[in-house]
């Protein structure tokens, strides 16, 4: 699974990269630190999954999530936030899953496994 990290804090991106590199079949293909670079980076790296900081600078402007979904229809998006109360807004905006940054790493890994299953389902041709 190809993963794009979108978080403005270097320490968070480094911790996520370290966690993901320990998992079999997970590869970090890029990193962005602000929303305006997210779409372009996704189009260049073709990730299967974006781990998206819900407080990423510029995220809530001009319908970025819907634009990203149109450009990359099979993409899974997991929103991350230090504010658990952001869950409802993130899910309403169209992310596939939400994980609090305060949750144990196992919770994120479980969400990633669920995202992998979802990506496989999205790629299956309809019968």
pTM above 0.95, yes or no: no
Instruction: Report pLDDT digits (tens) over 49-68.
Output: 999 999 999 887 458 888 88
Residue 71: its H or E element: helix 64-71
Instruction: Report pLDDT digits (tens) over 87-123.
Output: 999 999 889 999 999 999 999 999 998 987 877 777 7
Q: Which two tokens stand for residue 62?
A: 């001009």
Closest among 32, 82, 98, 83 to 59, alpha carbons compared: 32
How far, in Å, CA of 19 to CA of 108, rounded?
10
The angle at the Cα of 78, spanning 127 to 72, to the nearest 5 degrees, equals 50
Contact status, residue 39 vs residue 84, Cβ threshold 8 Å: no
Instruction: Report pLDDT digits (tens) over 4-33.
Output: 999 999 999 999 999 998 878 899 999 999
Domains of the chain: 2-123 (3.40.50.2300)
């Amino acid at each position: 699974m190809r993963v794009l990290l979108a978080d403005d804090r270097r320490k968070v991106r480094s911790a996520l990269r370290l966690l993901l590199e320990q998992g079999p079949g997970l590869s970090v293909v890029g990193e962005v630190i602000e929303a305006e670079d997210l779409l372009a980076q996704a189009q260049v790296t073709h990730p299967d999954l974006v781990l998206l900081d819900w407080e990423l600078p510029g995220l809530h402007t001009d319908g970025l999530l819907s634009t990203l979904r149109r450009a990359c229809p099979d993409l899974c998006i997991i929103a991350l936030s230090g504010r658990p109360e952001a869950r409802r807004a993130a899910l309403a905006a169209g992310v596939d899953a939400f994980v609090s940054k305060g949750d144990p790493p196992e919770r994120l890994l479980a969400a990633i496994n669920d995202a992998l299953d979802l990506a496989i389902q999205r790629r299956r041709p309809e019968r």
